[in-house]
Amino acid sequence: MKRKTIVIIVGVAVAAMVFAGVALSLEGSPSVGPDRAAEALRKAPGTKEKAHAAPRVDGQTWGLRSYTNVRGELCLSRDVPGEAVGTGCLPAAKLFADGPLFAIPGARQESAPYAKYEWDNQWVYGIAHPAITTLTLVNMDCSTQDLTLDEDGAFNHVVGSAKTKQGELPYKLIARGVGGRVLAEKVVAAGLTENAKKAGHQAPRPKQECR
């Protein structure tokens, strides 16, 4: 059986993270040798992984965990079912270096015996600063959904294949604080698949009213 294709989109805020995983393709992150990866991902003595929201989507569990490594950095481990566990670490002091919202978007396309042009799943996960009280996902069609933040500010949202095919595609996150004041906005659109790019398709664009 052919393996699925995973593309993980890493934003500027995560470019400094050290990533390691299996069958994982990363954009914008540094290459990591096995020795350096093993050192960077090793848990600090006495540290346990903390489980965060793990939604069940398309009959699969998309887990998210965090821990502190031997360097004192914050590490996030994310499960892409049937594919890989991708782990990234960075100094806790840099978590909100680009603003109060740390978010990692991504997407995957299942393998098929024919050319496919859409993603099968899209997702976004990360951590919100304590000042953020509500986090809203705005989709390309302007529909919205409030994402759940746990006690650590972690969130983990996955779009199933049916909704993806219906065009319910993530566009941006809006983070609000006390009184509804907007503290941050971050675009989390996944862009086109490789087949769609080669075919000359145009990337999905949000409706004018939700830009």
Look-up: residue for tokens 């540290």? Answer: 47
Which long-range contacts link 202-210 to residues 24+ away (Cβ below 8 Å)?
204/140, 204/167, 204/169, 205/140, 206/138, 206/139, 206/140, 206/141, 206/142, 206/171, 206/172, 207/140, 207/141, 207/142, 209/142, 210/138, 210/139, 210/140, 210/142, 210/171
Q: Per residue in 185-195, pLDDT tens? A: 999 999 898 89
Q: Answer whether 52's CB lies under 8 Å from 61's CB.
A: no
Q: Label residue 35 by pLDDT band (50, 70, 90).
A: low
How does pLDDT run across 141-170, given as a tens digit for each residue? 999 999 999 999 999 999 999 999 888 999
60, 62, 67, 69 alpha-carbon torsion, rounded to 10°: 90
Q: What DSSP character marks residue 59?
A: T
What integer pLDDT is reported at residue 23 of this predicted model? 32
pLDDT for the residue numbered 31: 45
Rounded to 5°, the CA angle 92-45-84 comes to 65
pTM for the whole structure: 0.85
Residues linked to residue 61 through DSSP beta bridges, in sequence order: 56
Top-ranked range on mean pLDDT: pick from 10-19, 176-185, 201-210: 176-185
